[in-house]
Amino acid sequence: RSCAVHPTSGDRGRGGRVEETVAGEKKGRVRIKVKMRRDKLEELLYVARRRDQSDGGNKIGFLILRECMEGRLSASVLGSGDDASSRR
């Protein structure tokens, strides 16, 4: 698996989108666009780095998803054909 967090262009670092894919998997890909404050992202990155030392994996995508599912962050789910920049 790979997981990446990319700032959404034009929002001056206040939001981001998380992309998670399984190697070799092309169909049914889902993108989640998440808005959060920079301090919240830094907090989650700190937690992910701390857990990486014990677990040995990148957990930032899972942490952000958990925050969304528990109602602490708002997110939009985009299908594989949707363009994140056109859905602002």
38-71: per-residue pLDDT in tens?
A: 999 999 999 888 876 655 445 888 888 889 889 9
* Residue 66 or residue 22, greater confidence: 66
Give long-range contacts, CB 8 A cutoff, 24+ apart: 40-46: 40/67, 40/73, 41/5, 41/16
HSE, CB side, 13 Å, CA atoms: give it for residue 40: 15
How confident is the model over 13-36, as a mean pLDDT? 63
Q: Which of 26-30, 56-60, 73-77, 83-87 has the lowest mean pLDDT?
A: 83-87
Predicted confidence band of residue 76 (pLDDT cuts 50, 70, 90): confident
The pLDDT of residue 80 is 62
